[in-house]
Structure 1
Amino acid sequence: MKINVLDTTLRDGEQTPGVSLTSNEKFRIAVKLDEIGIDYIEAGSAITSEGERDSIKEITRQGFNAEILSFSRPLKGDIDYCVECDVDAVNLVVPTSDLHIKDKLNMSHEELIDLSNNAIDYCKDHGLSVELSAEDASRSDKDFLKSVYSDAIEHGVDRICVCDTVGILTPDSSFELFNYFKDFNVPVACHCHNDFGLAVANTLSAIKGGATEIHTTINGIGERAGNTSFEESVVSIYRLFPQFSTNIKIDEIYDTSKLVARLTGVYIQPNKAIVGENAFAHESGIHSDGIIKNSATYEPMTPELVGRTRKFVIGKHMGTHGLNNRLKEIGLNVNDNQLKQICEDIKELADKGKTVTDVDLQVIADNVLEINHEDRIKLDEVTIVSGNKVMPTASVKITIDEEEILNAGVGLGPVDAAINAIKSLDVFKDIDLIEYHVDSITGGTDAFIDVIIKLQKEDKVVSARGTEADIINASVKAYIAGVNRLLGD
């Protein structure tokens, strides 16, 4: 059975505290949503502002395959703005719980039904498809809710949606609720919130109960604890419920997730299912060994399915099989005794609380293999001048291939100035700093600073680290260590 997906990232997702998308950002997300096979895109709420309407109009002009909707209250003014934006349909939201009808709207049940029916008629008279969403449906009287839906169907509504507005459903109660409405002759949609962390589970139960459409947001963003996660729902349907299907291009899920995270500024937790950075990362020796022999041992799906790649993390839980695999990736072949010693050295380092980077691994392996690489670049001295009225300026003395070089640079801060003084030299050309992270290892003003960076040259990426009481020295040393690694390879 086909399950349709309505994505509300541009409306409900934008209600995430601190998120405000520009028209161009909304357009870029909408393009991607259409590309990956979303059936319905809720582009925004036309009543919100002139800027919001301009954003919606830009989307509706594109002739996407997806149906474009605007959120609307059951008011003529809201609907007129939807017509102005030339949307295909409206997500007509009508409160149905006594808490909303009586306390918020101060209406009777009969007045609410009349309001809903009149709004549907007005939409249909203006050529709009209508999805009627019952707000707070999960706390509504089921018989009254059924009356609202039945009247709506008689007035020509195209789809109905059951909204768990405050996320109080459980998988069992979700199944029962949607099973109650499964005999309607229009599609039934599910809109869940994640207040108790059950949005995806409730959405999947709704499908089993008879829902044929789900509302989601990319990365599960949204107000409070967020909405139903698009990626978790779609991949779960694909992998766990073979009797159902969607139109989604699953191998583009990760790219879509990263795009939305970047444009909204909403951080993706590392352990988030499907799209988190740790979702396909393995450190445990037992797991790494099993994965190398057969990925199905410790992965319920291949990372390639969702546009990801697998990675083995270096740490104290890593076993020799995973470590040997990582060593081969960086071009080192070792015998069993050498592998065992490298593994022991890594565990010793990790036991001290140190994150083991590729550079650390290279150094440890070099020591065990008795390979003495002479670094091409060495830092001799760095001096900083900075103040309230002085642009931070750095002078550095470094040795490159036995040649002593002096150089200077300016920057927004002392670290930026020091790095700029170095990377302006020819040997650092085509090397990009793609990640910079700082941690304070100890407390107090004399704390040791741990700087971890990632550098990229063409398709090669390495990480490096510098630990000093001085953040500038730590940053410069980390940068030069990474460059030495890149140049050495």
Structure 2
Amino acid sequence: MDTTLRDGEQTSGVSFSASEKLTLAKLLLDELQVDRIEVASARVSEGELSAVQQITKWANTKGYLDRVEVLTFVDGGVSLEWMEKAGAKVQNLLTKGSMNHLTHQLKKTPEQHFREIDMAITAATATGIATNVYLEDWSNGMRNSKSYVFEFLDFLSKQPIKRVLLPDTLGILTHSETFDYISEIVQRYPNLHIDFHAHNDYDLSVSNIMEAVKAGCHGLHLTVNGMGERAGNAPMASAVAVLNDFFTDVEVGVNETSLHKVSKLVSAFTGFGIPANKPIVGDNVFTQTAGIHADGDSKKNLYFNDLMPERFGRIRKYALGKTSGKANIQKNLQELGLTLNDDELKKVTARIIELGDKKEKVTKEDLPFIISDVLDSDTFQQKVFIKSYVLTHSKGLMPSSTLALEINGELIETHAQGDGQYDAFMNALKKVYATKNLALPTLVDYAVRIPPGSNSDALCETIITWERNGKEFISRGLDSDQTVSAIKATEKMLNII
């Protein structure tokens, strides 16, 4: 059962709109193909009522109405009235699974609590609503008041309910406790359908669901991206991968190839980013960074495991940065349909490592620019060096540039203003060349490109066309800063002339 729309919405700062809930409900049942969804808590708000009405109306047309569940309360029938208005047919009744909660929150005896639960189940049955029962704080109940839990389960085993839902409400269970407690319950109550609802406070939710399945539980409650209160719930993607790979006797109907798509959509709706290293759905989890890994992948897939990206509708990537080796770059070149000889590949590798040392993010789409920049540098012998410069741009003041230029070993400094930072830089450069009685070519075209689909931190290529003695030529510069890339292109021009 996916409870992203109910328990996941209890993530601090998260609230789905009615249209978002309907969109996700459709994706969860139709595309991801989970068995059931818990979509709301009864009585929360008019907006929640409207959302559930839209979901149940759609679900009814698809024959899914018995797969849509709502959290309800022991409240004398108020929740059931809300359910009827919402058109929902399955309630997950919240009850107390520990003596601590029963005594201090409800201030009732077990007999009083069971009597009220009996009335709630009877009323639901009379209106055609099926009932599952949550034992809130069940994990602490097993630790500290096990006799009460078994008294409660004895009572529930005689009730017309579909499932008993056992939540580790505060996320306190270890894997061994999870196995022991659920094993004991499954063996003692073989006719009850047992669901386990894990929270992730100790980062143990996935290991705990593994032990719950080993112990014989019949259902799991999961959320997309592990959304939920505090540290969240057991994450859907990790749980599905674990069940498929380590439990050959368990059949999982969830469509793995849709996990990443749904994960991205939930992230977009909630505003909660997916950590880059989050298993299965994170941006980095199918990216090889170290050159030795890329090399091994080319030699009998030495660094592959069963978590192949294609299972989840994704592809393997090879990162480019300071730990890149030639193998990483070759993998990216293959995807782009480009080839380089060994000497060219060495130079491109050295440039990527240099960029990585500067903490610049290098992408596959940057590669053609880097190749062009590196190979273009081979067309001249460098004799002119732009050693240093300061660019200023202040409101109300003209942009200015201070420049230190080395020509054939001689260092010259100058300062100039201009209409923009690059114009100020060019004016300073003209002053230097005027002292040497040298003329600069005329700038006739200036173009800036970034890789398609890039962000503001992308590498930027500036292509400048110059005219000298009636002939045009081009120089290119590459940097994450647009003005700096133009200055690099200009330095190449100075060496070409």
Shared fold (TM-score, shorter chain, > 0.5): yes
Structure 1 position 53, deviation (Å): 0.8
Over 3 Å counting, the alpha-carbon distance change for 1:182 and 1:357 in structure 2 is same
Q: Give the corresponding residue for 1:68.
A: 68
Q: Give the corresponding residue for 2:371.
A: 365
Over 3 Å counting, the alpha-carbon distance change for 1:291 and 1:88 in structure 2 is farther
Matched residue SS, 2:298? helix
Q: Give the corresponding residue for 1:376.
A: none
Contact 2:80 2:124 in 1 (8 A): yes
Alignment of 1:333-352 (within 5 A): 333-352=339-358
Q: Give the corresponding residue for 1:13.
A: 8
**Alignment partners' CA distance in 2, 1:40 and 1:167:** 22
Whether 1:436 aligns to 2:455 is yes
Q: Give the corresponding residue for 2:362.
A: 356
Over 3 Å counting, the alpha-carbon distance change for 1:130 and 1:453 in structure 2 is farther
Whether 1:151 aligns to 2:155 is yes
Q: Give the corresponding residue for 2:382.
A: none
**Alignment partners' CA distance in 1, 2:365 and 2:280:** 28
Alignment of 1:229-308 (within 5 A): 229-295=235-301, 297-308=303-314
Greater mean deviation of Cα atoms: 276-285 or 182-191: 182-191
Contact 2:5 2:21 in 1 (8 A): yes
Alignment of 1:49-448 (within 5 A): 49-62=45-58, 63=60, 64-66=62-64, 67-75=67-75, 76-140=77-141, 141-183=145-187, 184=189, 185-295=191-301, 297-358=303-364, 361-370=367-376, 434=453, 436-437=455-456
Structure 1 position 275, deviation (Å): 0.1
Aligned residue type for 1:47: R
Matched residue SS, 1:154? coil
Structure 1 position 355, deviation (Å): 2.7
**Alignment partners' CA distance in 1, 2:135 and 2:227:** 21
**Alignment partners' CA distance in 2, 1:197 and 1:252:** 24
Contact 2:351 2:374 in 1 (8 A): no
The partner residue of 1:37 within 33, 46, 51 is: 33
Structure 1 position 99, deviation (Å): 2.1
Structure 1 position 95, deviation (Å): 1.4
**Alignment partners' CA distance in 2, 1:349 and 1:307:** 31
Over 3 Å counting, the alpha-carbon distance change for 1:295 and 1:252 in structure 2 is farther
Q: Give the corresponding residue for 2:17.
A: 22
Q: Give the corresponding residue for 1:466.
A: 480
Structure 1 position 360, deviation (Å): 5.4
Structure 1 position 331, deviation (Å): 3.5
**Alignment partners' CA distance in 1, 2:2 and 2:83:** 18
Contact 1:117 1:151 in 2 (8 A): no
**Alignment partners' CA distance in 1, 2:217 and 2:297:** 36
Structure 1 position 148, deviation (Å): 1.4
Over 3 Å counting, the alpha-carbon distance change for 1:294 and 1:263 in structure 2 is farther
Matched residue SS, 1:323? helix
Q: Give the corresponding residue for 2:44.
A: 48
**Alignment partners' CA distance in 1, 2:453 and 2:358:** 27
Matched residue SS, 2:167? strand
Aligned residue type for 2:480: G
Structure 1 position 288, deviation (Å): 1.1
Aligned residue type for 1:61: K
Runs of 4+ displaced beyond 4 Å: 370-373, 383-386, 394-398, 402-405, 431-435
**Alignment partners' CA distance in 2, 1:99 and 1:42:** 26
Matched residue SS, 1:297? coil
Contact 1:366 1:372 in 2 (8 A): no
Structure 1 position 197, deviation (Å): 0.6
**Alignment partners' CA distance in 2, 1:216 and 1:237:** 13
Contact 1:295 1:302 in 2 (8 A): no
How many residues align? The count is: 410
| TM-score where L is the length of structure 1 | 0.76
Greater mean deviation of Cα atoms: 329-338 or 26-35: 329-338
Over 3 Å counting, the alpha-carbon distance change for 1:24 and 1:316 in structure 2 is same
Among all aligned residue pairs of Structure 1 and Structure 2, give the percentage whose two residues are the same amino acid: 30
Structure 1 position 93, deviation (Å): 1.1
Q: Deviations over 1:11-39 (max 9, x none)?
A: 11111111111100111000100112111
Greater mean deviation of Cα atoms: 108-117 or 94-103: 108-117
Over 3 Å counting, the alpha-carbon distance change for 1:434 and 1:22 in structure 2 is farther
Matched residue SS, 1:272? coil
**Alignment partners' CA distance in 1, 2:20 and 2:395:** 40
| TM-score where L is the length of structure 2 | 0.75
Contact 1:433 1:453 in 2 (8 A): no
**Alignment partners' CA distance in 1, 2:159 and 2:366:** 69
Over 3 Å counting, the alpha-carbon distance change for 1:364 and 1:49 in structure 2 is closer
Aligned residue type for 1:43: V
Over 3 Å counting, the alpha-carbon distance change for 1:58 and 1:16 in structure 2 is same
Greater mean deviation of Cα atoms: 258-267 or 345-354: 345-354
Over 3 Å counting, the alpha-carbon distance change for 1:341 and 1:396 in structure 2 is closer
**Alignment partners' CA distance in 2, 1:333 and 1:280:** 24
Task: Report the RMSD for the aligned CA atoms in angstroms.
Answer: 3.3
Greater mean deviation of Cα atoms: 121-130 or 169-178: 121-130
